[in-house]
């Protein structure tokens, strides 16, 4: 075939003064595209667990004979399921006997109610047998990543969960950050949002226990009633060889282990046992003594559970639940109460007010949440109304919140209440001790980091830890010298922003007691930036999308700090949309 280019045409192109620019563009554009893709993959793998989801839940090459999980709450359950894909035997040592019962797995989670006398008046609270989880009947929130992890680990999760009343609905929390609405990425998901489960902690834990039981047909996972009291170290001090446990009868047993996972929760027992085990090593002892950081946010919170009153669905459909977003966008102006499960969330600026509010559905009922830094705790619906009326924010609590309270008043005498306090948030920086830690020791969940529960990230954080562990196990066996160090560094990369954001927000309230060696001035720029970012989120689709995906563990938090978004935040700082609310 004859070339379409004549000799003269080719001569013209070659000698054109624009040819070098065209050539450069032809080379640069693909290079930039490829570089962006490479950077995106790096950011996702470094700062999120999303890439690890692909292999999660699939059988892997054996990495050892026995893995021991210290603690069998949600973090321990998820970790045990992950380890069953990598080890011949998984031993979960659970200190609470009832948690191992058929009752706990079958979803029988409460035993009735009892009356509690409180400052705000007496109230009924749920009674149960789960003695080691104080927040068992408190309100919980969950992120999109959690649902994806559970579905990968347990193919029958949805069916069992729905059978126990768990609601699956779009991840629309109708959040008001300092009173401002937030644009969510409806356009990216065909006019809806990814699903999350809306349910109580007690129901979800029972569902997960049932799922682990169903997934354990081969009997790889063994549950033992007891408490781990010590670790056994190898002769060369590079790994743990066994754990010492005290069983339910008070007898001492030794359980050999190729991998030891600390899932002891807020007591962070692994650090204490490592300190004893490595006591003869001066370098290890001095390093371990510096790993734990803690502060006291002095958080008081209350959950009020309400049964559905008569004609509730018909009546709430008549209430206009606005999203707080102005201008044209792909999301709804008003929420469809037949499709969404959550109606309202208020996250205050801690420098202005301490009150946090939330309201929505849970399995088989309605839940109202209130609390904050050294907060009073409303224990009746009428007190909840007064509490909400006192909120100070850039924009007031919307009328529809009070309208929903009105709908619930006919059953106000049938509510149950949970009061809770949080006096310690802590982080163990294990990644700083890679040269002294036993290579086959790791920790998951609150055993490495306990956050302020006002962000509702504890369960998803545990799921992220288990997913991260699975990813590391697919590259290294616990006997490899890089195993523990790789896990802790990878987990730190993925969770450090959670710790910083939660701590720095808490430091905005003068009642918080900071970490040793720090002052409440820490994170001052973060709080300044976040307060102005909240306003940008109400009117900028890209910023709203970045924040949504970061908050649901689907993208790095750094994506909410692109140059474009930073410029908009700085512009808001120089030319505020509206005056900033301040304390009287």
Instruction: Give the burial class of 162: count Cβ atoms within 10 A of its Cβ; 0-12 exposed, 13-18 middle, 19 or more buried.
Output: middle
- Residue-wise pLDDT tens digits, 460-510: 999 999 999 999 999 999 999 999 999 999 999 999 999 999 999 999 999
pLDDT of the residue at 481: 97
Give the Cα-Cα-Cα angle 330, 332, 336 (nearest 5 degrees). 145
Q: Which residue in 486, 80, 489 sits closest to 263, CA to CA?
A: 80
Among residues of the chain, what percentage have pLDDT more than 70? 94
146 part of a folded domain: no
> How far is the CA of 485 from the CAs of 429, 455, 542, in angstroms?
11, 28, 36
What average pLDDT is seen over the chain?
A: 94
Residue 214 shares a structural domain with residue 290: yes
DSSP assignments along 358-406, one per residue: EEEEETTEEEEEEEEET-----SHHHHHHHHHT---SSPPPHHHHHHHH
Measured in residues, the chain has a length of 584
Residue 27 shares a structural domain with residue 60: no
Residue 288 shares a structural domain with residue 215: yes
Is residue 23 predicted with pLDDT exceeding 90?
A: no
Mean pLDDT for 383-409 is 97
Domain containing residue 237: CATH number = 3.50.50.60
What is the spatial distance between Cα 473 and Cα 489, in angstroms, rounded to a whole number? 14
107 part of a folded domain: no
pLDDT of the residue at 275: 97
What is the spatial distance between Cα 224 and Cα 339, in angstroms, rounded to a whole number? 42
What is the spatial distance between Cα 143 and Cα 458, in angstroms, rounded to a whole number? 10
Mean pLDDT for 178-199 is 97
90 part of a folded domain: yes
pLDDT of the residue at 288: 98
Is residue 33 predicted with pLDDT exceeding 80?
A: no
370, β-bridge pairs: 302, 357
- Residue-wise pLDDT tens digits, 415-456: 999 999 999 999 999 999 999 999 999 999 999 999 998 878
Residue 444 shares a structural domain with residue 496: yes
Is residue 11 predicted with pLDDT exceeding 80?
A: no
321 touches 174 (CB < 8 A): yes
- Residue-wise pLDDT tens digits, 123-179: 999 999 999 998 899 889 999 999 999 999 999 999 999 999 999 999 999 999 999
State whether residue 316 is helix, strand or coil: helix
Residue 495 shares a structural domain with residue 549: no
* Number of structural domains found in the chain: 3
How many Cβ atoms sit within 10 Å of the Cβ of residue 66? 18
**What phi, psi does 434 have (nearest 5°)?**
-60, -30
What is the spatial distance between Cα 25 and Cα 23, in angstroms, rounded to a whole number? 5
pLDDT of the residue at 14: 53
Residue partners of 280: CB distance under 8 A and separation at least 6: none
| Residue 244 pLDDT grade (very low, low, confident, very high; cuts 50, 70, 90) | very high
553 part of a folded domain: yes
pLDDT of the residue at 139: 87
pTM of the entire predicted model:
0.93
274 touches 288 (CB < 8 A): yes
Mean pLDDT for 219-233 is 98
**What phi, psi does 493 have (nearest 5°)?**
-60, -35
pLDDT of the residue at 584: 46
pLDDT of the residue at 582: 77
User: Which one of 506, 540, 561 terminates a domain?
Assistant: 506
223 touches 94 (CB < 8 A): yes
pLDDT of the residue at 2: 52
Residue 42 shares a structural domain with residue 56: no
Segments forming the whole domain that contains residue 535: 524-574
Residue 568 shares a structural domain with residue 444: no
374 part of a folded domain: no
Query: Dihedral, CA atoms, 261, 264, 265, 271, nearest 10 degrees?
Result: -70
Mean pLDDT for 386-411 is 97
Is residue 9 predicted with pLDDT exceeding 70?
A: no
pLDDT of the residue at 494: 98
Residue 498 shares a structural domain with residue 532: no
């Amino acid at each position: 075939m004859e070339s379409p280019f004549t000799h003269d045409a080719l001569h013209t192109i070659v000698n054109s003064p624009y040819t070098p620019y065209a050539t450069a563009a032809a080379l640069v554009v693909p290079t930039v595209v490829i570089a962006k893709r490479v950077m995106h993959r790096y950011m996702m793998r470094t700062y999120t667990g999303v890439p690890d989801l692909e292999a999660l839940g699939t059988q892997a090459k054996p990495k050892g004979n026995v893995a021991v999980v210290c603690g069998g709450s949600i973090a321990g359950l998820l970790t045990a399921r992950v380890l069953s894909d990598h080890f011949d035997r998984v031993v979960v040592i659970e200190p609470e006997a009832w948690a191992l019962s058929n009752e706990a797995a079958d979803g029988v989670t409460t035993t009735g109610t009892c009356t509690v006398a409180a400052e705000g008046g007496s109230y009924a609270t749920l009674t149960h047998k789960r003695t080691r989880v104080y927040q068992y009947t408190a309100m919980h929130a969950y992120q999109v990543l959690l649902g994806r992890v559970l579905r990968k680990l347990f193919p029958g999760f949805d069916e069992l969960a729905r059978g126990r009343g768990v609601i699956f609905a779009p991840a629309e929390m109708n959040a008001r950050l300092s009173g401002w609405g937030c644009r969510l990425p409806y356009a990216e998901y065909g006019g809806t949002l990814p699903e999350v489960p809306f349910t109580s902690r007690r129901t979800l834990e029972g569902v997960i226990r049932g799922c682990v039981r169903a997934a354990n047909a081969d009997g790889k996972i063994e549950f033992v009633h007891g408490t781990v009291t010590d670790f056994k170290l190898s002769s060369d001090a590079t790994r743990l060889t066994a754990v010492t446990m005290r069983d339910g009868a008070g007898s001492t047993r030794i359980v050999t282990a190729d991998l030891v996972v600390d899932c002891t929760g807020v007591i962070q027992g692994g650090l204490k046992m490592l300190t004893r085990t490595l006591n003869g090593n001066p370098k290890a002892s001095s390093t371990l003594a510096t790993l734990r950081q803690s502060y006291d946010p002095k958080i008081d919170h209350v959950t009020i559970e309400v049964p559905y009153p008569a004609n509730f669905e018909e009546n709430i459909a008549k209430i206009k639940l606005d999203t707080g977003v102005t201008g044209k966008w792909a999301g709804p102006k008003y929420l469809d109460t037949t499709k969404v499960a959550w109606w309202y969330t208020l996250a205050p600026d801690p420098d202005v007010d301490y009150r946090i509010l939330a309201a929505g559905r849970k399995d088989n009922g309605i839940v109202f949440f209130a609390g904050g830094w050294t907060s009073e705790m409303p224990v009746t619906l009428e007190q909840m109304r007064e509490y909400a009326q006192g909120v100070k924010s850039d924009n007031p609590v919307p009328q529809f919140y009070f309208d929903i309270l009105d709908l619930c008043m006919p059953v106000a005498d049938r509510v149950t209440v949970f009061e809770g306090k949080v006096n310690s948030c802590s982080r163990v920086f294990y990644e700083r001790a890679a040269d002294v830690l036993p290579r086959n020791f790791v920790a998951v969940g609150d055993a490495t980091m306990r956050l302020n529960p006002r962000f509702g990230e504890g369960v998803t954080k545990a799921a992220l830890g288990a997913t991260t562990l699975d990813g590391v196990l697919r590259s290294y066996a616990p006997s490899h010298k890089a195993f523990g160090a790789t896990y802790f560094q990878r987990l730190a990369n993925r969770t450090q922003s959670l710790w910083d954001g939660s701590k720095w927000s808490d430091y905005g309230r003068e009642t918080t007691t900071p970490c040793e060696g720090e002052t409440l001035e820490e994170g001052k720029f973060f709080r300044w930036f976040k307060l102005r970012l909240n306003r940008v989120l109400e009117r900028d689709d890209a910023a709203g999308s970045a924040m949504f995906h970061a908050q649901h563990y689907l993208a790095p938090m750094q994506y909410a700090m692109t140059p474009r978004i930073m410029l908009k935040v700085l512009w808001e700082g120089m030319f505020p949309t509206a005056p900033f609310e301040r304390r009287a």
